[in-house]
Structure 1
Amino acid sequence: MNNPFDITKAVDFTNEQIVQYWVDISDKDGFKNLLKPTSVMPMIILGSKGSGKTHLMRYFSYELQKIKYKEDLKGGLENDKFIGIYVRCSGLNSERFSDKGQSDEIWRSIYAYYWELWLSQISLIIIIDLQKNGIIRITNEQVLVASIIGLLNKKPQNIPNDLRGLVTFFSELQKAVDYEVENCIFNDDGKLHIDNLISPSKITYQLPQLIKEYVPFFKDKIFLYLIDELENISENQQRLIQTLIREKNTACTFRLGARLYGVRTYKTLGSGEENRKGSEFDEVVLDDFLRRTVFYLNR
C-alpha cells in the first residue's frame, strides 16, 4: 500500500495529484475569487510552509487546465478567460548570476535577459500545444514570428519561420548565456561576453499583445504569469520581478508567490522606484485568509 504522506510538498506532486488533492472553499467562487486570475492588478501571495500557496498557484496553470478540462479544453479556456503560465524561480538556478568578478549592475542586466529567454520559451511551448490540439489556428504564423523577432534589439542573421523554430532559437541563445555565465572566470579578461538582445520585460509584455493580435482565440484572454518561490532569488534579482509587475497592460497579469519572509525588496530596476501595496500590487497572506475561512468544500 502506498503511503499518502510520503509526499507532502505541492512542488513534488504530479499535475494529476494537484487536481486529485484540490480542496476549494465554499466562498463565492472559492480560491478563484481570491486569485482573481483575469484582473490586470498584480498580486503577491504570501504563505508559510504548508499553507497551500504552491498548490493554489499550480492549480491555475495551463498544465492543470488541460487536466481539468480534458473533455472540453477549448470550452474550459473560453470560460476561464486566461492561460496560466506557472514557473518556479528556483528553476533558473539563480545563484549562478552573482559574484564571479562582475558587478551587481551587470548581473541584473544578464539575469533580466536570461529571464526573457526562459519565459518566452515556456509561453511559446504552451501556444504550440494549443495549436497542436486544435484549440487555436494561426494562419499567419510566419508574420507572427517575424513580429516577435522584431522585439529584439538586433535582427539575427537566421530568422525562424515558425514557432517551433523560434523556441529553438531562444533555447540556443539561452545555452550561449549558460556557457558564458559558467565560464566567465576562465576568460582571459574575466568578463562576460554576451550580446544582450532583449530589453528587460519586453517579450514578457509584448508577446501576449502580439498573440492577441494574431490569434483570434486570445482576443478576450489574458496571460496569467504565476511566478512562484520568489524567496529563492536574491534581492538584486527580485528587482526584475518588481519591474515586471509595475507596468500593467490588458494582455497579461502577474501572481507572485513567496514565503512570508520571501520578498526582499520592492525596488525596481533603473531608478529604483518602490512598488507600493494597493497601488502597484495587491497582497494576500494566505495563512490569514484561511484562518478567516470556516467552510471547505472538497470538489
Structure 2
Amino acid sequence: MHDSTSEISQVKHSLTKNRSEHLGKDVWSDFVIPRFFNRVPLISTMPIRLEGGRGSGKTMLLRYLSYHSQFSGDRKKLPENAADSVGLYWKADTQFLRIMQKRSLSDEDWSPVFDHYLNLRLGLEVLSSIKLIANSAYEAVDKVSLTNVIFEGALDFGFENTSFEGVLKEIGSRIRKTDTIIQNVSGIDTLEKLPVSFLHYLVESAKEQIPGLEQTVFSVYIDEYENLLNYQQRIINTRIKHSEPPLIFNIAIKLNGMSETQTLSDERLENKADYAIVNLDAEIERSGFDDFVSEIFLKKLSEASPTIAKELKIDLNACSNPDNLEYRFSAEYRRHCREIVEGIFPGRSHQDLADEIFETSRYYNKLTSEIERALIMRHSSLKAEDFILQNYRKASIVCSSLLYRRNLDPEKIKAELDKLVSNIDNKFTNKTDWEHNNFIGCYLRIIRSHKAGSTFYSGFDVYSALSGKNVRHFLELSKSAFSLLDDSTLTEKFIIDRALQHIAAKNTSDELVKEITRFTPLGSQLSNFVKALGRIFQLCQDKETQSETEVTHFGIKEDDSPLTEEDDKFFKEAEKWGVLQAIESTKNKSSASAAIYDYVLNPVYSPFFLISYRKGRKIEIESSTIRQMYLLGEAAITKEVRKKMRLSGLEDSTVQPKQATLL
C-alpha cells in the first residue's frame, strides 16, 4: 500500500490535463511525437491541410511545431538547422472574430479589417519568435544582434519606431487599438489598415539583418480554420494559394470543415496543386493507435508517479524527440509499455464474462428464467437444468437465445450440447460456431437490467476500442477510472478493478452523450439522432433470438423520400464532430453522397446504451426514418418503424451471423 494519497492525487491531476490548452504554448516536454512524424511532410514549402476529428491531437501537434516548443527553454541543445523552419501558431479567437460581421457593415467592409488584424497578429508572432530564438539555446542567433535591427520600411507603414523592440511594442499597441475599434465598430472608417506586404516586409527585413536566419522559412499554422467566417476563410485561402518561401500558410481543420475554397480572386484552392492533405486520424491508426496512446498515458503517469516511473525502466522523455522513433518502434519497448498498461487496466475474456453470469445471483437467475420461459413457449418437456452446465458456461448462456429460435428444436439444441460435453463435433464450436457468434449478445441481454454490476467495459484493449481511435476519449476514460480510486483500492501497483473500469466507462459515456448538444450548429439534431440510433441498436440486441448480434452500424436505404441536401449536411456534421464514422458501403447506392456510405456509431457512446463497442452486424434504415430520427429523436422509433425494421417479436433465423472477435 502507498504511504500517502499524494501520488494518486498527482496522477488524477495529471490525467485532467488532457487538452493542449491546459499545457500552455510550450509543449516540448509534454508532447508524445506521433509515430508517423518522419513519414509525413509536416514541415514543407508546400502548404498543408491537417485534418482530423476532435481529440485527434491537431492542436497539440501544431503547438509542438511552433517556435514556443521548438526553441523551448527545456531544450539545452539545438541542432544547427533548427531555425530553418520556424512555426507560428495562431488559433482564431472564435468569439472575437465572429463579431467582425454585420452591424451595419457588409463582408466587403469587414474584409480589410480582418486582413489588417491578421497581419498585426502574425507580425507580432514573427518578431516574438525571433526574440525567443535569440534567447534560447540556439547558438546561431545572438540576442545582441537584435539591437542592431532597423526596420526603416516600417515608417512607410505609418510606424513611429524603427528598432526591433520599438516595432514590436507598436504592433502590440495597434492590436489593442484595433480590438477596441472592432468591439465598438465606431472608428473603423478611420482605422489605418496594414496590408499583407507589411508582414512580408518584416520577414524579409529580419532575414536580411539577423545572422542565423538567412535560410529561415516561417510556417504559419492556423488552427480551427472551420470556425472562421466565410469571407475570413477566403482571405486565408488566398494566403495559402500564394504561399512561397519564406512565408507558408497551413491550416488545421476538422473533417468536412473546409466549406469554402474560394479565394479573393476568381481562383479556387485546389487539392494537390495548392496544398497537401494530412489526415491525422488515418495516420495515427496506420502507425498503431494502441502503442501511441499507451505512451501518452504512461508518460502522464510517470511524470506524476515515481512508482510508475521506476517500474517503467524506459526513457519516456525520448517521446519528444523525433530522433528516437526507431527506438520506440522496437518490439521490446512496445511490449514493455503494453504490459504495464494492461496491468493497470486488466481485461477479461469470454470465459470471465461467462463466470460473471454464473457467479452473480441476479444474472444467474435471469439466465435460468430466460431458458425456462423459452422452453414453456416452445412447449418442450426439457428443463432449464438440461441447458445450464457449470463446466460449459458460455454454451449455456448462448442457449438462452437459441431456444427462442423457431427453426431450432430444443431437442436438437440439447443434442448439440451433449456432443460438446462428449468432445465431439458440434454446432457450438465447429464452423457454425454458435458459442462465439452469439455469446456477447446473449451476455449483454442478460445483464441489461443490472448493468452497473458488470465488468464488460474493462481492459486496456476495450478502452482503446471505446475511444474510437481518439486520444482525448482514451484519456477521458482513464481519468474517470482513476477518479474512482481511493486508499482502499490501492495496492503495491496502480490496478484499476474491472468493475470500476466498467463504471468509469459508463460515466464517461454519459458525459460525452450530454456533450453532443453543444456541437454547433446541429447539436440538438445530432443528440436526437444518437439517442434514436442507440435505441434501435438496443432493440436489436434485446431480441430473444439474437438473430442480429451486436448491431453497431447502419446503411441508408433510400425509399420514397430520398436524401436531400439537408440530410447530406447533417451527415457531414456528424462526421465532423466524430459522432458517426463513414465507411465504404458494400453495396452500390444512389448518387446522394450520404447514401454511398455505411455509418458506425462512435463506440464511446456504447456504454450509455449498454451495447457492443465492436463493429458487428449492419442494419438498413430508410431515409425517411433517418430524417425523423434527427428531428424527433427516440419518438421517431414508432410501432410502424419497429415492425418494418423487425425490431420486436420472435423471428426465425436460419443463417447464423458472423460476429467480430473480442478485442
Q: Same fold (TM over 0.5)?
A: yes
Distance 1:10 1:240, change over 3 A: same
- What is the CA-CA distance between 1:122 and the residue it aligns to? 1.8
Question: Match of 1:45?
Answer: 50
Aligned residue for 1:165, secondary structure, equals helix
Aligned residue for 2:15, secondary structure, equals coil
Distance 1:255 1:131, change over 3 A: same
Question: Match of 1:36?
Answer: 42
Select which of 240, 247, 259 maps to 1:252.
247
Structure 2 CA distance for aligned equivalents of residues 245 and 178 of structure 1 = 25
Select which of 4, 13, 20 maps to 1:10.
20
The answer as to whether partners of 1:110 and 1:196 remain within 8 angstroms in 2 is: no
Unaligned runs of 5+ in 2: 1-8, 296-318, 320-663
Aligned residue for 2:273, secondary structure, equals coil
**RMSD (Å) for aligned C-alpha atoms:** 2.6
Code of the residue aligned with 1:106 in structure 2: it is D
Distance 1:149 1:76, change over 3 A: farther
Paired positions, count: 280
Residue 272 of structure 2 corresponds to residue 278 of structure 1 = yes
Structure 2 CA distance for aligned equivalents of residues 100 and 77 of structure 1 = 51
Question: Match of 2:101?
Answer: 98
Deviations, residues 215-272 of structure 1 (Å, cap 9, x unaligned): 2311122112111111221111111111111113221222211111322311112x24
Structure 1 CA distance for aligned equivalents of residues 141 and 31 of structure 2 = 30
- What is the CA-CA distance between 1:45 and the residue it aligns to? 0.4
Distance 1:92 1:141, change over 3 A: farther
Code of the residue aligned with 1:183 in structure 2: it is N
Code of the residue aligned with 1:48 in structure 2: it is G
Question: Match of 2:117?
Answer: 114
Deviations, residues 64-123 of structure 1 (Å, cap 9, x unaligned): 112386212xx3362462111111112782112111110110111100011101111121
Aligned residue for 1:83, secondary structure, equals strand
Distance 1:174 1:18, change over 3 A: same
* Percent of pairs with identical residues: 21
Higher relative contact order (CA 8 A, sep 6+): 1
Distance 1:160 1:96, change over 3 A: same
Select which of 123, 127, 151 maps to 2:126.
123
Distance 1:292 1:240, change over 3 A: same
Q: Please, which moves more after superposition, 61-70 or 165-174?
A: 61-70
The answer as to whether partners of 1:65 and 1:77 remain within 8 angstroms in 2 is: no
Question: Match of 2:221?
Answer: 226
Q: Please, which moves more after superposition, 163-172 or 130-139?
A: 130-139
Code of the residue aligned with 1:147 in structure 2: it is G
Structure 1 CA distance for aligned equivalents of residues 249 and 91 of structure 2 = 13
Residue pairs, 1:94-243, within 5 angstroms: 94-133=97-136, 135-137=140-142, 139=145, 144-150=150-156, 152=157, 155-156=158-159, 159-184=160-185, 187=186, 192-199=188-195, 201-243=196-238
Structure 2 CA distance for aligned equivalents of residues 169 and 31 of structure 1 = 38
Question: Match of 1:24?
Answer: 34
Code of the residue aligned with 1:9 in structure 2: it is R
Code of the residue aligned with 2:61 in structure 1: it is L
- What is the CA-CA distance between 1:142 and the residue it aligns to? 6.1
Unaligned runs of 5+ in 1: none
Structure 1 CA distance for aligned equivalents of residues 178 and 82 of structure 2 = 39
Q: Please, which moves more after superposition, 83-92 or 233-242?
A: 83-92
Question: Match of 2:494?
Answer: none
Code of the residue aligned with 1:177 in structure 2: it is T
Distance 1:15 1:31, change over 3 A: same
Code of the residue aligned with 1:277 in structure 2: it is N
- What is the CA-CA distance between 1:293 and the residue it aligns to? 2.0
Residue 81 of structure 2 corresponds to residue 78 of structure 1 = yes
Aligned residue for 1:197, secondary structure, equals coil
The answer as to whether partners of 2:62 and 2:89 remain within 8 angstroms in 1 is: yes
Structure 2 CA distance for aligned equivalents of residues 242 and 100 of structure 1 = 25
Distance 1:36 1:206, change over 3 A: farther
Aligned residue for 2:93, secondary structure, equals helix
Distance 1:223 1:148, change over 3 A: farther
Distance 1:140 1:20, change over 3 A: closer
Code of the residue aligned with 2:274 in structure 1: it is E
The answer as to whether partners of 1:98 and 1:107 remain within 8 angstroms in 2 is: yes
> Normalised by the size of structure 2, how large is the TM-score?
0.39
Structure 1 CA distance for aligned equivalents of residues 68 and 149 of structure 2 = 27
Structure 1 CA distance for aligned equivalents of residues 228 and 80 of structure 2 = 32
Question: Match of 2:398?
Answer: none
Distance 1:273 1:203, change over 3 A: same
- What is the CA-CA distance between 1:16 and the residue it aligns to? 5.7
Structure 1 CA distance for aligned equivalents of residues 26 and 174 of structure 2 = 33
Largest Rg, 1 or 2: 2
Structure 1 CA distance for aligned equivalents of residues 155 and 258 of structure 2 = 33
Structure 1 CA distance for aligned equivalents of residues 256 and 93 of structure 2 = 16
The answer as to whether partners of 1:267 and 1:273 remain within 8 angstroms in 2 is: yes
Code of the residue aligned with 1:246 in structure 2: it is K
Structure 1 CA distance for aligned equivalents of residues 124 and 132 of structure 2 = 12
